[in-house]
Structure 1
Amino acid sequence: MNESEILTLLQKYQNGTLSNEEKDKLDAWYLYKVSNSKLQLSEQQLNDSYEYLKSQLSLEKETKVISLWQRVAVAASIAVVLGTGIFYFTKTEKQVNPVVQKVQDIAPGGNRGILTLSNGKQIILSDVSKEGAIAKEGDDEEVTVKLSANGVVTYIINSEANKTKGDVASFNTLSTPLGGQYNIILGDGTKVFLNAVSSIKYPTQFNGDKRIVELEGEAYFEVSKNKSKPFIVKCGNQMVEVLGTHFNIHNYNDEKFVKTTLLEGSVAVSHGNERVVLKPGQQSNVSGTLGKIQVKEVDTDLAVAWKNGRFKFDNADLKTVMKQLERWYGIKVEYRGNVSDVRFNGGTFMNKNLSEVLKVLELSNIKFKVEGKTIIVYP
């Protein structure tokens, strides 16, 4: 993009008319400039530049919470005003050393999964897995398991063979490792997007009066409508019942809450003797230590950002952010000092190397030291 295009995007951002596509372009441009520049913006230098630019582009007052997009706007605006890339505007313009040292980079995750069949056989799935039939299930092989051209596990029911079957079904499990995601279409047509370090257990065909699956980790569901056969997700200490809808469940063992976020339709969340029905835009929080289900209005884009290939944060604390990086990059994070008061707004793409993501987080003055697959965090 040339300077005129960048300035146009920045002005749209200031006016609140920046589209998601334009936002992605500006984000990508900024991260590219940061990753290819020898100069970095410290907090003080950013503030100095910010004061100067308020008179140039009428920027609003900066909030206390770290906002990636405010910093993108400021830093990118400096590049436009000076015409020299990512620099800061001061009287002396001295160079600043980057906090993240140049080390062997860590690549992002991708399509990786393990399909466990009813007989215990495991099939390793990846970007390079060959499409076509990969297994047969059932005594009469009435279910064919296929891998589509775009890397999605699908189940094809042989209706003729299925006529003689009773209510007994075979069960499969799809799981993802660190740095893995995978998608599946169940026998009823329900689409499931499985996030990293997650697993879903399900029948190869739904024979009874209910469609029941079990989830650990995180998944986004687009449930095929069937009013006579409710779809039920068992996870942790809660149960989610739907007829046909779109929702996300976040159920990691190392986090306090099981979060169910509804995007479309309605779902009933049960925990102990309590049951609540969510409306679109609502999220329930369930914990073994809570006496009741908590329900709140949320930005659903945050809950499903991972499915759309993005990290996205809204006043997120540092440890929550780093847990996402641990799962996606297969790293271990250690903390040296108190970082509990550090929070983030904004986000970036998940297809970037780890160093590029850390550069974004560095804008909060958090320091990172990379030692192999271990990231040490300093306040």
Structure 2
Amino acid sequence: MNETEILALLQKFRQGFLSDEEKDKLDAWYLQKAANSKRNLNEYELEDSYHHLKSNLPLRQETKIISLWPRVAIAASVALLLGTGLFYFTKSEEKSVQVAAKPHEIAPGGNHGILTLSNGKQIVLDDISVKDTIAEEGEKQEVTITMNADGTISYVVNPSAATRNSDEHSFNTLSTPTGGQYNIVLADGTKVFLNAVSSIKYPTQFNGDERVVELEGEAYFEVAKNKEKPFIVKSDNQSIQVLGTKFNVHAYTNEAIVKTTLLEGSVAVTSKGNKALLKPGQQSNISDNSNKIAIREVDTEAAIAWKNGRFKFDNADLKSVMKQLERWYGIKVEYRGDVSDVRFNGGTFRNKNLSEVLKVLELSNIKFKVEGNTIIVYP
């Protein structure tokens, strides 16, 4: 939306005449601008301000402030709405309003996962109601698999039953469907946060000289430190070796670039005979059509926004943004026209219905048409 449209909505906002659709548009604009304001709100402050605005409509404004609107820039108006003392909220009188039926909403994903044991048995994790032991692995039950109160899967090794060579080739796989995510704590204490449409294969206990896991899709790792046993993540076209650190791996098979983003510590990325060391704040990019490992400085918060319950776009191209929505909302996307030059900054929350996320994206002059679970994109 342009500035003229925003000012028109704010005028109706002040008078209390906004329709539900117009309120949603104004909320979307507010959320995007607040996320990029100079106030640098964190995700909790942004969420609070968003809900505060929604729960207190309509907004009234002192008469002496009205004349300022034509001279107030869009970004500056966000600061006013965030509470500088120039505005106040009042409850409006209840009115009988005929509300049109809302279209079918596409809900966000949640905690959904499937655990495949070494014997091939599959456990649907979101079907488990009791948070306790869910399985045991090994002939002597060397490893106990539990579900914590928050739904996280943990592996606990029984020292009295485990030996260095026992169950050396026993592997489990945790996978997430479209619209799913799940967290796991491996036997060495490493925490893994698995994004949608992803899987990780790992040993039930790390008995050798290395701790090796295999990843498809995206995961964030907080690796338990062990100088004697390097932790290795194998994914499409690359291998990552660490001793103990925090990093994110984005390795979907339907995307051209494998991205490894380092937040803390150091990692060594190896691909096609080449090796690169990353520093915190750096990201390696590996593509199918190149033998080089490209290194660049990135916004690490954008790389792990999904783990923190947000979509955050840092000059992201439209198609990569829509792939995120496909995996999280279980939709299909079709393009009508050239959208190759469309980029996005800002973001919103992953717990919102798809319609609210699309309203944020529409602020960049992209149009969407929803037909069932298919989203048609127009430049």
Same fold (TM over 0.5): yes
Within a 5 Å distance, the mapping from 1:62-73 to structure 2 comes to 70=75, 73=78
| Corresponding residue number in structure 2 for 1:55 | 71
Corresponding residue SS for 2:125? strand
Q: TM-score when scaled to structure 1?
A: 0.79
Partner SS state of residue 135, structure 1: strand
Structure 1 segment 325-364 matched on structure 2, within 5 A? 325-364=325-364
CA deviations 1:302-343 (Å, max 9, x no partner) are 000000000001111111111111000011011111222222
Matched, 1:25 2:30: no
Instruction: List per-residue Cα deviations over 1:214-260 (Å, max 9, x = no partner).
Output: 00000000000000000000000100000000000000011111100
Q: Offset at 1:103? A: 1.6
Q: Distance in 2 between matches of 1:302 and 1:172?
A: 30
Q: Quick check: 2:176–2:195 contact (8 Å CA) kept in 1? A: yes
Taking structure 1 as reference, are residues 109 and 71 closer, same or farther at Cα in structure 2, changes over 3 Å only?
A: farther
Offset of residue 193 of structure 1: 0.1
Return the offset for 1:130: 2.4
Of structures 1 and 2, the one with the larger relative CO (CA 8 A, separation 6+) is 1
Alignment of 1:282-361 (within 5 A): 282-361=282-361
Distance in 2 (CA, whole Å) between partners of 1:271 and 1:320 is: 23
Structure 2 counterpart of 1:361, one-letter code: L
Structure 1 segments, 4+ long, off by >6 Å, are 10-13, 80-85
Calculate percent identity across the aligned residue pairs.
62
Distance (Å, rounded) in 2 between the aligned partners of 1:377 and 1:83: 38
Q: 2:35 touches 2:346 (CA, 8 Å); kept in 1?
A: no
From the superposition, tell whether residues 323 and 74 of structure 1 become closer, same or farther in structure 2 (CA, over 3 Å).
farther
Provide the residue aligned with 1:162 in structure 2: 162
Residue number in structure 2 paired with 1:106 = 106
19-28 vs 140-149, greater mean Cα deviation: 19-28
Change (3 A) 1:169 1:15: closer
Bigger mean CA deviation after superposition, 105-114 or 354-363: 354-363
CA distance in 1, matches of 2:273, 2:214: 20
- TM-aligned CA distance change 1:286 to 1:262, over 3 Å: same
Q: Which residue of 2 aligns with 1:240?
A: 240
The structural deviation recorded for 1:76 is 5.3
Amino acid at match of 2:125: L
Relative to structure 1, the CA distance from residue 164 to residue 237 in structure 2 (aligned partners, 3 Å threshold; closer, same or farther) is closer
Q: Which residue type is aligned with residue 173 of structure 1?
A: T
Conservation of the 8 A alpha-carbon contact between 1:27 and 1:72: no
Give the counterpart letter for 1:55 in structure 2: R
- The one-letter code matched in structure 1 to 2:71 is S
- The count of aligned residue pairs is 329
1:253 aligns with 2:289: no
Q: Which amino acid aligns with 2:193?
A: F
**1:205 corresponds to which residue?**
205
Gaps (5+ residues) in structure 1?
Answer: 38-51, 63-69, 86-100
Q: Could you tell me how far 1:139 is from its partner in structure 2?
A: 1.6
Matched-pair contact (CA < 8 Å) for 1:129–1:151: no
1:157 Cα offset (Å): 0.6
The 3-state SS of whatever aligns with 1:375 is strand
Query: Cα deviations across residues 258-304 of structure 1 (Å, max 9, x unaligned)?
Result: 10000000000001211111010000001121121000111100000
How far off its partner does 1:128 sit? Answer: 5.6
1:174/1:226 CA distance change after superposition, 3 Å:
same
Q: TM-score, normalised by structure 2?
A: 0.79
Shift of the 17–300 alpha-carbon distance from structure 1 to 2, 3 Å rule, reads: closer
- How far the C-alpha of 1:356 sits from its partner, in A, is 1.0
Shift of 1:13: 7.6
Tell me how far 1:362 sits from its aligned partner: 1.8
Cα distance in 2 for partners of 1:338, 1:112 equals 35
Deviation, 1:55, is 2.1
User: d(CA) in 1 for partners of 2:38 and 2:346?
Assistant: 17
Partner amino acid, structure 2, of 1:209: D
What are the within-5 Å matches in structure 2 for residues 135-146 of structure 1? 135-146=135-146
CA distance in 2, matches of 1:320, 1:12: 20
Structure 2 CA distance for partners of 1:12 and 1:363, relative to 1, 3 Å: closer
Aligned counterparts of 1:300 and 1:208: Cα–Cα separation in 2:
32
Amino acid at match of 1:73: V
